Amino acid sequence: MAYSIVLTLHSLVRWVVLIAAVAATVRALMGWFGRREWTGLDNRLGLILTGSLDVQFLLGLILYIFLSPNTRAAFQDMGAAMSNGAVRFWALDHVVLMLVAVVLGHVGRALSRRADEATAKHQQAAILYGLATVAMLLAMPWPFLSYGRPLLRLVGLVWP
């Protein structure tokens, strides 16, 4: 039961993270290329992005370390797991790419806050939030992939 609940939360929070990442990246790109001032909204979007990334990563780690039958099976024979693309995705690719996304998001927020000029703030945020977004998109188990998951998962209900 705990696995289903945490997996459902992880599935739902991914959309919050992805929306926050796209919003923060687009806003930063507009600020960078439009030479706009850095505003409280820019700062808040970075905070929402990093906060939601942290929540998502924590939920993912709980699944990865304690609850997931996929990683439990992979840990029993890592050699076999690495030779199977679907198992390797859950045991290695997904967690590494998401860790990269979390790091990029936090570095982007830190560098954008430390930059002196608004253009530099937007530039740092745009580049690093954009890279974090790409890492997330690559690490998501899209339904069309052999190891894919539904786009929206609710306990007992699944929409493909």
Whether pTM exceeds 0.85: yes
Q: In total, how many domains does the chain have?
A: 1
Secondary structure letter of residue 155 according to DSSP: T
How far apart CA 100 and CA 32 sit, in angstroms, is 23
pLDDT digits 0-9 by tens, 26-59: 999 999 999 999 999 999 999 999 999 999 999 9
How far apart CA 68 and CA 58 sit, in angstroms, is 14
- Name, in order, each residue with C-beta under 8 angstroms of 61's C-beta and a sequence gap of 6 or more: none
The domain in which residue 50 lies consists of 2-159
CA angle 37/47/133 to nearest 5° reads 90
